[in-house]
Amino acid sequence: MAVTQVELDSFHRFASEKLGSGDATLGWDDLFLLWDATCHRDAVNTAIRQGLDEADRGEYEPADRVMDELRSEFGLGK
């Protein structure tokens, strides 16, 4: 997947802030992993909130039923 200018600019801002805060021990990989996690945090939190809202409304399937279906589908024993 090609990198967009927006993503590059976002990473640059993030990395500059981290390094400017005195965290000069971070390497490229560290910076990228932190930036990537930060970018996805909002989406993960939204998905969790949606799941909790669905559970509150009773829109869920009990885990034991789901596990039984998966075992059956993939031919696994209990």
Domain ranges of the chain: 28-78
pLDDT for the residue 49? 95
pTM equals: 0.52
Alpha-carbon torsion (5, 11, 14, 16), positive or negative: negative
Residue 13's pLDDT is 93
Locate 30 and state its tokens: 């560290």
- The DSSP symbol for 22 reads T
Amino acid at site 34: L
Span 12-68, pLDDT tens digits = 999 999 888 887 788 999 999 999 988 888 888 999 999 999 999 999 888 999 999
CA distance 77 to 66: 14
Fill in the amino acid letter for 1: M
Place of tokens 């965290």: 23
